[in-house]
Amino acid sequence: MSTLQDQRILITGANGGIGKATSELLLRDGVGHLLMAGRRAERVEAARAELMSSTGAEGARISAHAGFDMLDPDAIRAAVDGLPDKQIDTVFLQAGGWVVAPDYPKHDWRGQQYERTSFQNALGGHAVIAALEARGLLRPGARIVVMGGEGARGVPGMIAPAAFADAAALKRYLQGDTAGYPAYQPVNALGTSKFINALWAQKLAGLGTYEVVWFTPGFTGGTAGTQGLPGWKEFVFQRIAFPVFVMLGQAQWPDTAARKTADAVSGRIGRNGDLLGAPQGKAIGPITDQKPMQPQFSDASFQDAVWEIAVEVGGPVAAHSLHALDGSIMYRCSDSAGAVRGEQQTDCVADLAEIIAHAPVRATP
Ligand SMILES: NC(=O)c1ccc[n+]([C@@H]2O[C@H](COP(=O)([O-])OP(=O)(O)OC[C@H]3O[C@@H](n4cnc5c(N)ncnc54)[C@H](OP(=O)(O)O)[C@@H]3O)[C@@H](O)[C@H]2O)c1
């Protein structure tokens, strides 16, 4: 992999708490170019100006890009169309958070309903990758880091683990059919959305086109992540609970979280297929493999269910690829759902033009 100084890194939600703190550290660490992606122009421009001033980074090393609304794949495509015509080495999909609402919030997209928290935390990220790939902006073998959360496997007394009977039930939930589920709790829906983006990350990692790492830095105060709570509750959380949690080592401030995420983004932590976060039962702690904590992370039928809906919403990703392995050429063509159709040139003749056009060519030692 190239050094950080040669890299172009795009971060979604870059104007927010952990996203902005991570952006700042990557600039201080010497990233070649940082593309700060956000949904609102004024916020992402303001964050860029603030980081230029705090880090002394020159304008040429940091750009702001609006329109990255994780609930609107059309806006995402338009935003990607506006990016400069230079390949990106790493994408950090970190925009999102919970949705405070009295009942399961739904999101309408092209006449179909979806569960809103999962849409913004999982399906929106897929739309970003699909749009970048369609424009040929992802470097072959690019690194994709997905912002997770310990809620993906549950945290006792804090976040209930996702519990789907089977892949069909998961699909129904994603499509907004939440009948029969316990009363809506934003923090549980957040955890479930991170379970879903972990399944998405595992599926994409398995396709082998990109290097995909799912990473969560642990419980973090001082961000806007508690937004949406009634004012007094947010006050209690931010001014009383978080400082106490931080003192007790049960939470951290964004700069500490960002050190970990910046290391994950720049490749110091995490290899393809890793799911990394706090130890079992905890919301913060030494970086630990999450897979043994939730066997369904590795369940192919769960991964396929998420992938199918992600493709329905955001379009195909990694459907065609061409790998150069040990000097020999290996083709892989798959349908838009990611099912591999063949791995020989003869299997892929019909796809060859597209494989070459998309050309995520990857030289693997
Ligand atoms: N805080 C924690 O304890 C913790 C722990 C582990 C993981 N995480 C994850 O880390 C990420 C950042 O969280 P944070 O605590 O830093 O929260 P934050 O301060 O609220 O930042 C969230 C960022 O995501 C953006 N965003 C939210 N919803 C979006 C949407 N639908 N489309 C586009 N952008 C959207 C926000 O943009 P706007 O400024 O436009 O609202 C903001 O830039 C989230 O994915 C969160 O789940 C947080």
Q: Using one digit for the tens of pLDDT, what is the confidence trace for 93-103?
A: 999 999 999 99
CATH architecture for residues 4-315? 3-Layer(aba) Sandwich (3.40)
- Name which residue sits closest to atom 41 of ligand 1, judged by CA: 16
Mean pLDDT of the residues in the chain: 90
Residue 341, pLDDT above cutoff 80? no
What pLDDT sits at residue 236?
A: 82
Helix (H, G, I), strand (E, B) or coil at 11: strand
Query: What mean pLDDT comes out for the span 116-141?
Result: 95
Query: What mean pLDDT comes out for the span 321-337?
Result: 56
What pLDDT sits at residue 365?
A: 35
Ligand 1 nearest atom to the CA of residue 14, by list position: 43
Residue 275, pLDDT above cutoff 70? yes
Query: Measured between alpha carbons, how far is 159 from 139 in angstroms, rounded to an integer?
Result: 37
Q: Lowest-confidence range among 19-28, 70-79, 137-146?
A: 137-146
Query: Measured between alpha carbons, how far is 138 from 209 in angstroms, rounded to an integer?
Result: 11
220 lines ligand 1 (CB under 6 A): yes
Ligand 1 nearest atom to the CA of residue 194, by list position: 47
What pLDDT sits at residue 349?
A: 64
Query: What mean pLDDT comes out for the span 1-22?
Result: 93
193 lines ligand 1 (CB under 6 A): no
22 lines ligand 1 (CB under 6 A): no
Give the pairing type, strands 211-215 and 138-147: parallel
Query: Measured between alpha carbons, how far is 150 from 191 in angstroms, rounded to an integer?
Result: 7
CA 68 to centroid of ligand 1, rounded, Å: 13
pLDDT tens column, 286-317: 999 999 999 999 999 999 999 999 999 999 89
Site to substitute for ligand 1 among 18, 107, 150, 252, most atoms within 8 A of C-beta: 18
What pLDDT sits at residue 239?
A: 83
pTM: 0.91
DSSP letter string, 113-180:
EEEHHHIIIIIHHHHHHHHHHHTT-EEEEEEEEEE--GGGS-BTTTBPPP--SSHHHHHHHHTT--TT
Provide the pLDDT confidence category of residue 364 given band limits of 50, 70 and 90.
very low
Domain segments of the chain: what residues? Answer: 4-315, 319-365
Ligand 1 nearest atom to the CA of residue 251, by list position: 3
Strands laid side by side in the 211-215 sheet: 62-65, 33-37, 8-12, 88-93, 138-147, 211-215, 275-277, 288-289
Query: Measured between alpha carbons, how far is 191 from 180 in angstroms, rounded to an integer?
Result: 18
69 lines ligand 1 (CB under 6 A): yes
Give the pairing type, strands 106-109 and 112-115: antiparallel
Yes or no: say if 196 and 115 are a contact pair by the CB < 8 Å rule. Answer: no
What pLDDT sits at residue 360?
A: 46
Helix (H) or strand (E) segment spanning residue 332: strand 328-334
Backbone angles phi, psi at 9, to 5 degrees: -120, 130
Provide the pLDDT confidence category of residue 158 given band limits of 50, 70 and 90.
very high
Both structure tokens of 180: 């029969």
Query: What mean pLDDT comes out for the span 43-59?
Result: 96
Query: Measured between alpha carbons, how far is 150 from 128 in angstroms, rounded to an integer?
Result: 23
- Name which residue sits closest to atom 1 of ligand 1, judged by CA: 220
Residue 338, pLDDT above cutoff 90? no
Q: Lowest-confidence range among 31-40, 137-146, 226-235, 337-346?
A: 337-346
Site to substitute for ligand 1 among 23, 39, 252, most atoms within 8 A of C-beta: 39
CA 255 to centroid of ligand 1, rounded, Å: 15
Helix (H, G, I), strand (E, B) or coil at 53: helix
Site to substitute for ligand 1 among 220, 229, 250, 260, most atoms within 8 A of C-beta: 220
Decide which of 105 and 234 is more confident: 105
Helix (H, G, I), strand (E, B) or coil at 76: helix
Yes or no: say if 133 and 57 are a contact pair by the CB < 8 Å rule. Answer: no
Both structure tokens of 141: 């073998």
What pLDDT sits at residue 345?
A: 62
Yes or no: say if 140 and 272 are a contact pair by the CB < 8 Å rule. Answer: no
